[in-house]
Structure 1
Amino acid sequence: MLSAGLPQGAVPKLERPGPLRDRVYEALLELITTRALQPGQHLVESELAGHLGVSRQPVREALQRLNTEGWVDLRPAQGAFVHEPTEQEADQLLTVRTLLEAEAARLAAANADKAGVAALESLCVEGEKAVTADDVDTAVALNAAFHAKIMTLAGNTVLAELAAQVDRRVRWYYTPVARQRGRQSWIEHRELIAAITARDEQLATTLMREHTEHTRRSYHERTQD
């Protein structure tokens, strides 16, 4: 286990071939977004390199890229640390997410077919099982998949591209409140499915706006505890 505190089994296996620096970047980003590496945690190049089975060079390159993208802070004479998002950062991103997701829900209600609705139903069933099993990691992944599917059903490529840009940060903010949101989140998902099935664009928009707003409030309430 890393002295920095990575849980056993958290380090993903790197696939080869492919640009190693990109593989290391993806592995580290996944560890950050799932909170296996916590905000504020010190990232030691040699330790990360050892656990990923690579040299320090691709780790250094990956950390520089993550710093540029705002996931990691490189501090002179101190090293690399997982970025600690401010309340303002989280609020701004989750507000943008609400705008994107609400429009996606409206378009999904207008465009979704039976196969699309069935896919949402299947994801919802699996998500409910994960909540019952208290499997937070799986619940978070299924939550992301559910929202991604609605984005697909919306049928707007530009909207989907914009949503993809914020998806990983949404997962980052959602992970610490996933247990708190729990079953209620999936109840809200079922309400969304019903609105999409009924092709009620206005209701789907309202429900998605309320759903994402609940997550935003939960995040802020958590930080105030």
Structure 2
Amino acid sequence: MSLTSKLPQGLAARQVSRPVPLRDTVYEAILELIISGELKPGQHLVEKELAELLGVSRQPVREALQWLKKDEWVDLRPGYGAFVHSPTPEEADQLLGVRTLLEAESARLAALNSTKKGIAELKQIYKRGVQALKADDVEAVVAANAELHARITEMSGNKVLNELVAQINRRVRWYHTPVAKSRGKKSWDEHSALIDAIGKKDADRAAQLMREHTEHTRETYLAQNAES
């Protein structure tokens, strides 16, 4: 008789969870520093400094940087070291263009499937975003923006669409962070109109407003980077 057959039902089904490799934790920590803008595009990433900052040895930092290079968040230059990737205008334009297509459809479907509960949730997120904007808290503004867009995609009810948007969400946050302040109140006014259209189940208008909203962000990002 096996050991599991002797154990009480339920207990036998338990499995010891495997700890997350330290490399993965370090990967996520460095990536969040990049997305939040604390580590700037083109900035030199020194293993020793990152290890001290994160309270780990240099080995998991080195491994994490290799994976970040693979995912195109970091560039490794022989003889010089690791640097935060600087996205080209073409990279940003292509990704933000795809975002517009996906999120316009998300908004259209969200309007068709909207509920009072869903609209109330969007309004609460909107309220937090406006409060963060007034407090000049860029990090909170970016977080509220990401949450609002994610909730609209969830409301679409389309699982595949959710998965596709999730794949690009981190880079969208990365591109949005440097323009969140300049987009400011106009962006949240656009959010307000979008929520109103979704609440009225006006699918065509919701899609159009989302298309215009995401295009404004794309244009602002490209213009701002052309000046720098």
After TM superposition, the score normalised by the length of structure 2 is 0.90
Q: 1:56 & 1:161 partners in 2: Cα distance?
A: 34
For 1:1-225, list aligned pairs within 5 A. Answer: 18-225=20-227
Report which stretch shifted further, 140-149 or 17-26: 17-26
- Offset of residue 224 of structure 1: 2.4
| Structure 1 spans left out of the alignment, 5+ residues | 1-16
- Offset of residue 148 of structure 1: 0.3
Q: 2:104 & 2:159 partners in 1: Cα distance?
A: 15
The alignment-based identity, stated in percent, is 62
After superposition, the C-alpha distances for 1:80-129 in whole angstroms (9 at most, x for unaligned) are: 00000000000000000000000000000011211111010000001001
Residue of structure 2 in register with 1:10 after alignment: none
The alignment partner of 2:42 has SS state of coil
The alignment partner of 1:80 has SS state of strand
What code does the residue aligned with 1:138 have? A
Q: 1:92 & 1:211 partners in 2: Cα distance?
A: 16
Residue of structure 1 in register with 2:3 after alignment: none
Q: 1:85 & 1:177 partners in 2: Cα distance?
A: 15
Q: 1:76 & 1:164 partners in 2: Cα distance?
A: 33
Q: 2:53 & 2:149 partners in 1: Cα distance?
A: 32
Residue of structure 2 in register with 1:13 after alignment: none
- Offset of residue 223 of structure 1: 1.3
RMSD over aligned Cα atoms: 0.7
Q: 2:136 & 2:49 partners in 1: Cα distance?
A: 30
- Offset of residue 18 of structure 1: 2.8
The alignment partner of 2:75 has SS state of strand
Q: Point out 4+ residue stretches in structure 1 off by more than 2 angstroms.
A: none
The alignment partner of 2:83 has SS state of strand
- Offset of residue 221 of structure 1: 1.3
Q: 1:86 & 1:153 partners in 2: Cα distance?
A: 33
Q: 2:31 & 2:162 partners in 1: Cα distance?
A: 21
Q: 1:113 & 1:58 partners in 2: Cα distance?
A: 46
Aligned length: 209
Q: 2:53 & 2:208 partners in 1: Cα distance?
A: 46
Q: 1:101 & 1:203 partners in 2: Cα distance?
A: 13
- Offset of residue 61 of structure 1: 0.8
Which structure has the larger Rg?
A: 2
The alignment partner of 1:139 has SS state of helix
Q: 2:63 & 2:152 partners in 1: Cα distance?
A: 35
| Structure 2 spans left out of the alignment, 5+ residues | 1-18
